[in-house]
């Protein structure tokens, strides 16, 4: 209370460049069915059946996408007591390692899923009957059909694996041995020959952590189809620091291996480095290299992948980088990395490149007459074995990250992207999971000066106990975000426009494309890029400038008056100005802002 004033007060709602975080709890729907389980890592959406399949320790769940607590279907799939005893006798931890941690759930056919678990250090797979239609409420193990999980699922639940089931063939990036030293990209199950990467060849894979496998077609020709693997691995001498590098690797789906050599091994495997860095003031680049997750863009043109990357080497922080497929293909079409011998540097290979160009798929656009990689000349196969790495690295679009968080006390662990049509165009909304149990909803807007403006629309606490988010999936159909962690599964709406307030201006200032598009409280559409309520909402004073709103309130000298100014949008900052009677000058009143609602 500033008691010396009896003159009008003005409350200005100003658009703020640095958004204020809005934290909400109690908006997420937790899976509350009591299970003695942990590590809810695998989320597999089935929008046709309106179900989500979840894999955790010893359990496979089928949950209703509308409400995950409504009649969950539960399969308990622990290991036999004898297996558990053997596991413990081999020196492993009873609960931490000797459980059956589900690590793979793939749709097998119209009625069955293929599911694998670590099986107490003895990976196992089986079929789950989910019925033809969801109304049947079928969800059960197919008795008597247990396969070995070797090459599909790791022994050690601490090691991440990735998988893709394509045309009845299972492709997996996985450590295939008990010791966890033999990392491989493996193909099993189908009619084609089983295939793998060259064993214990650190040029191919060097202590990798697999992040994702993603089929990305190269052209209209099916024979060119490639499966891309995203992983991080230990750096070879090439480039020295940093210790860990983010990688994109790929194989042709129709690879049959070599004839002379690389028999039953990929003869089209290539990889390249993904760079995500920002130049510092001192000219030293800050690299973000601990690739934890990625999401493909929903905009097919230009096709891009979003990747979020924390850096553990220098300080805590993360970045989101976007890579276009065109840039990625250009690197794979560029020079191969070459090393003459142990004491030489890595250079771009300048010698003769054999035909067909190493990494090309058989029967594709450039090799119509070669039906199989077994028809490739020996020199192509030999070249492949020694040159699996591209010399050039892939840089993000515009050569810089889309989002950067430096020196914050959290990291991004997961990313997923949704596309929203607002009044002024189409927006990609990023959902970024953190290691402290929250999800940030972020949009990045182009500005007129070629720079970009990042807006954090909200940050939601999805798990009451701070815990790293391990998995996120979006259902555009249901407009829900599903989130998994060690503690459980939960879901929340992609938008909650009512938290921004009732008024049109509140909605506009929030600049949330979901709400600007269809806000139930907003009578008209607002643009997201400028979020200008002056233009779009009548009835407000606006004599300061186009980005501010003002409200006049009066206090009387010598008395205390309750003055209140409320702004629900996280992008609003409040300023109080004091203007005395008979004066045109106004003075800003300094204050400590406690929240988005200030009272005097
Ligand atoms: C939960 O499982 C662990 C082993 O997986 C067991 O030791 C514990 O007794 C179980 N708790 C309950 C309540 O069943
Ligand atoms: C799906 O696969 C399972 C397991 O191989 C099999 O038992 C079942 O008959 C198949 N269902 C259909 C519809 O093909």
Q: Which atom of ligand 1 is nearest to the CA of 99?
A: 5
Residue 8: the pLDDT is 36
Q: Which structural domains are found in the chain, ordered by start?
A: 11-39+157-494 (2.130.10.10)
Whether 335 contacts 349, CB under 8 Å: yes
For each of the chain's 600 residues, which pLDDT tens digit applies?
233 333 333 333 333 323 334 445 456 788 777 788 999 999 999 999 999 999 999 999 999 999 999 989 999 999 999 999 999 999 999 888 999 999 999 999 999 999 999 999 999 999 999 999 888 889 999 878 899 999 999 999 999 999 999 999 999 999 999 999 999 999 999 888 899 999 999 999 999 999 999 888 888 889 999 999 999 998 876 555 667 888 999 999 999 999 988 999 999 999 999 988 887 767 677 777 676 766 665 444 445 677 766 665 556 778 888 888 889 999 999 999 999 888 888 899 999 999 999 999 999 888 888 899 999 999 999 999 999 999 999 998 888 888 888 888 888 889 998 888 777 778 889 999 998 999 999 998 887 777 888 888 888 899 888 999 999 999 988 999 999 999 999 999 998 777 666 566 666 667 788 876 544 444 445 667 666 655 555 444 333 344 556 666 666 666 666 666 666 556 667 777 887 777 778 888 776 544 444 444
| Ligand 1 pocket residue status of 365, Cβ below 6 Å | no
| Ligand 1 pocket residue status of 543, Cβ below 6 Å | no
Closest Cα to atom 11 of ligand 1: 36
Closest Cα to atom 6 of ligand 2: 112
* Predicted structure pTM score: 0.83
Pocket test for ligand 1, best of 34, 35, 36, 117 (most atoms within 8 A of CB): 36
| Ligand 1 pocket residue status of 476, Cβ below 6 Å | no
CA nearest to 312, candidates 392, 413, 402:
413
Pocket test for ligand 2, best of 125, 127, 145, 168 (most atoms within 8 A of CB): 127
* Token pair of 453 as six digits: 């403006």
Q: Which atom of ligand 2 is nearest to the CA of 132?
A: 13
Closest Cα to atom 12 of ligand 1: 36
Pocket test for ligand 2, best of 106, 112, 138 (most atoms within 8 A of CB): 112
State the DSSP code for 571: T
Distance between CA atoms of residues 349 and 328, nearest Å: 19
State the DSSP code for 394: B
Residue 258: the pLDDT is 93
Q: Which 3 state secondary structure label does DSSP give 497?
A: helix
Closest Cα to atom 7 of ligand 1: 95
| Ligand 1 pocket residue status of 36, Cβ below 6 Å | yes
Classify 286 in phi/psi space as left (phi over 0), alpha (psi -120 to 50) or beta: beta
| Ligand 1 pocket residue status of 95, Cβ below 6 Å | yes
State the DSSP code for 535: H
Distance between CA atoms of residues 160 and 290, nearest Å: 14
Distance between CA atoms of residues 194 and 186, nearest Å: 7
Closest Cα to atom 9 of ligand 2: 111
């Amino acid at each position: 209370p500033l008691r010396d004033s009896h003159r009008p007060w003005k409350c200005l709602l100003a658009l703020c460049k640095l958004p204020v975080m809005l934290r909400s709890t109690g908006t997420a729907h937790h899976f509350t069915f009591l299970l003695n389980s942990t590590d809810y890592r695998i989320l597999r959406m089935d929008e046709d059946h309106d179900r989500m399949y979840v894999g955790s320790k010893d359990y496979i769940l089928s949950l209703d996408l509308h409400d995950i607590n409504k009649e969950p279907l539960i399969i308990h799939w622990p290991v036999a007591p004898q297996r558990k005893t053997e596991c413990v006798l081999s020196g492993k931890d009873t609960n931490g390692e000797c459980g059956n941690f589900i690590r793979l759930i793939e749709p097998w056919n119209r009625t069955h899923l293929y599911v694998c678990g670590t099986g107490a250090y003895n990976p196992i797979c089986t079929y789950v009957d989910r019925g033809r239609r969801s109304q049947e409420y079928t969800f059960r193990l197919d008795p008597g059909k247990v396969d070995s999980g070797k090459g599909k699922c790791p022994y050690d639940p601490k090691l991440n694996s990735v998988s893709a089931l394509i045309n009845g063939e299972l492709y997996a990036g996985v450590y295939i041995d008990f010791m966890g030293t033999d990392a491989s990209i493996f193909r099993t199950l189908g009619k084609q020959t089983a295939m793998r990467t060259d064993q214990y060849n650190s040029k191919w894979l060097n202590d990798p952590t697999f992040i994702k496998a993603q089929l990305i077609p190269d052209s209209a020709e099916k024979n060119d189809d490639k499966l891309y693997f995203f992983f991080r691995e230990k750096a070879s001498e090439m480039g020295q620091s940093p210790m860990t590098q983010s990688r994109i690797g790929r194989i042709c789906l129709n690879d049959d291996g070599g004839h002379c050599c690389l028999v039953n091994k990929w003869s089209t495997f290539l990889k390249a480095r993904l760079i995500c860095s920002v130049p510092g003031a001192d000219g030293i680049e800050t690299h973000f290299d601990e690739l934890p997750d990625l999401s493909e863009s929903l905009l097919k043109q230009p096709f891009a992948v979003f990747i979020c990357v924390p850096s553990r080497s220098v300080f805590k922080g993360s970045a989101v980088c976007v890579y276009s497929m065109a840039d990625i293909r250009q690197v794979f079409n560029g020079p191969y990395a070459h090393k003459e011998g142990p004491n030489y540097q890595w250079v771009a290979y300048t010698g003769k490149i054999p035909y067909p160009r190493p990494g090309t798929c058989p029967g594709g656009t450039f090799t119509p007459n070669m039906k199989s990689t077994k028809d490739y000349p020996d020199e192509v196969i030999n070249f492949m074995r020694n040159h699996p790495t591209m010399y050039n690295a892939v840089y993000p679009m515009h050569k810089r990250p889309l989002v950067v968080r430096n020196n914050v006390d959290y990291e991004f662990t997961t990313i997923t992207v949704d596309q929203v049509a607002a009044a002024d165009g189409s927006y990609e909304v990023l959902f970024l999971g953190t290691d402290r149990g929250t999800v940030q909803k972020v949009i990045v807007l182009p500005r007129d000066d070629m720079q970009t403006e990042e807006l954090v629309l909200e940050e939601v606490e999805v798990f009451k106990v701070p815990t790293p988010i391990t998995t996120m999936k979006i259902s555009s159909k249901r407009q829900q975000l599903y989130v998994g962690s060690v503690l459980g599964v939960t879901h929340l709406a992609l938008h909650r426009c009512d938290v921004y307030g009732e008024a049109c201006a509140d909605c506009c200032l929030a600049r949330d494309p979901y709400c600007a598009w269809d806000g139930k409280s907003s009578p008209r559409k607002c643009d997201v890029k400028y979020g200008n309520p002056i233009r779009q909402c009548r009835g407000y004073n606006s004599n300061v400038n186009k980005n501010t709103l003002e409200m006049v309130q009066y206090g009387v000298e010598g008395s205390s008056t309750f003055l209140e100014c409320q702004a629900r949008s996280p992008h609003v900052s409040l300023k109080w100005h004091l203007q005395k009677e008979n004066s045109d000058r106004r003075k800003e009143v300094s204050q400590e802002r406690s929240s988005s609602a200030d009272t005097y």
